[in-house]
Amino acid sequence: MPKSKPVDPAALGPNLKAFASQVSQFALYLRAERNCSPKTIEGYSSDLADLLAYLAGSGADPGVRDLDRELLRSYLARLAGRRLSPAARNRRLAAIRSFTRFLVEEGVLQADPLTLVRGLKSRRALPHPLTIPEVERLLEALETPLEATRAQDDPFQEAETARDRALIELLDGSGLRIAEACGLPFGALELAKPRNPQVRVRGKGSKERIIPLSQASVAALQGHLVHRGELRPKDPVFLGRRGEPLSPWTARRRLKGYLIKAGLPADVTPHQLRHSFATHLLEGGADIRMIQDSLGHASLATTQIYTKVSGEHAQGKYRKAHPRDKM
């Protein structure tokens, strides 16, 4: 979704300037009190900037105390006129709801004007995980350098290939988010435990979770780390060509190259590897609460979506395998 255009402060009346200041205070609250990720804060701030632009365009100068149910419903109706999807409109509503609750906590509002306003019903799309044979094809493509035309004496080529394999094996074997993997410090890896190698991750809300690592992930990480030399606990595990921490953008671009090399859809994202991790664990008999802990989901309901994915896969396998289904 495109970002909302910022409102020119000079065009705002005194009440809307105070409104904009409250939005800035809300962003600080999300960072300091709620430990929200920068991406979440940016999204909420963008959504509230859109509300501010709507209010500024009304020709009036409403303040935060003028946020009543009717005003907010008129804004939500305007969103419907923009042909935004129900999910996108619900996201805007969630941002405003968090903001109004913050205003109530701060004593700016006496009551939340959105208490009786419900979100729209939307059908949540099921994740599209890779199959196990597709994952194997992707990993096979990682056995050789991505750029076949690069000079053979390039000292970074072997290290880069080892890094890519370690990163993708880690994503597939742990379900990490791409930002978590790219920001992983060396001290988070516990590879020396032969029976229980694991990784400690700080995810959304700075909550730590411990994820067991597969032997394949451990072998790939060890193959990568021999190229790094001695590392301190805070040193990033994955680096770019210039020695900077590997960016999620670069990681996605590298993954796309290997997908094309493996003959797989180029639009598969790192997050789909996370979906694949959860789906394959579930199909292998893992407990759903263990999967919830590994993924870092606050709600079990978020994890339970994979039971639907697994159910669809099981039906597909049945229809391919059962002779009576071909009549």
Q: For residue 162, give the CATH number of its domain.
A: 1.10.443.10
Say if 118 falls within a structural domain: no
Block residue for tokens 């979704």: 1
- Do 201 and 213 form a contact (C-beta atoms < 8 A)? no
- Averaged over 133-154, what is the pLDDT? 81
Q: Is residue 99 part of a domain?
A: yes
On whether residue 217 sits in a domain, the answer given is yes
Question: What is the structure's pLDDT at 71?
Answer: 79
Would you say residue 264 lies in a domain?
yes
229, pLDDT greater than 70: yes
> Residues 89, 176: one domain?
no
Options 92, 165, 177, 280, the catalytic residue: 177
DSSP designation for 9 = G
**Residue at which a domain ends, from 255, 270, 285:** 270
Which residues does residue 245 pair with via DSSP β-bridges, in sequence order?
239
Whether residues 179 and 99 fall in one domain: no
Whether 271 sits among the annotated catalytic residues: the reply is yes
Considering the candidates 204, 209, 228, 256, report the single residue annotated as catalytic.
204
92 in catalytic set: no
Domain of 63? 9-105
182 and 231 assigned to the same domain: yes
306 catalytic, yes or no? yes
151 — pLDDT class (breaks 50, 70, 90): low
User: Do 81 and 209 sit in the same domain of this protein?
Assistant: no
Q: Looking at 61-70, 161-170, 227-236, which range is the least confident one?
A: 61-70
Q: Which two tokens stand for residue 54?
A: 């709507």
Annotation marks residue 313 as catalytic = no
Our count of domains for the chain comes to 2
Helices (H) then strands (E): counts for the chain: 13, 3
| 177 in active site | yes
Residue 34, burial from CB neighbour count under 10 angstroms (0-12, 13-18, 19+)? middle
pLDDT of residue 3 exceeding 70: no
Q: Which residue has the tokens 């149910």?
A: 69
What the block records as the tokens of 286 is: 């893992």
The answer on pLDDT for 11 being more than 90 is no
More confident residue, 193 or 165: 165
Residue among 227, 228, 271, 313 flagged as catalytic: 271
Q: Please, what is the average pLDDT of the chain? A: 81
Would you say residue 227 has pLDDT above 90? Answer: yes
Residue in this structure with the two tokens 């992983």, named with its chain if needed = 184
Q: Angle at which helices 155-174 and 270-283 pack, to 10 degrees?
A: 50
Exactly one of 89, 92, 165, 274 is catalytic; which is it? Answer: 274
Supply the pTM of this predicted model.
0.63
pLDDT digits (tens, 9 = 90+) for 52-70: 888 888 777 777 777 777 7
Please tell me whether residues 143 and 70 are part of one structural domain: no
Same-domain status, 80 and 159: no
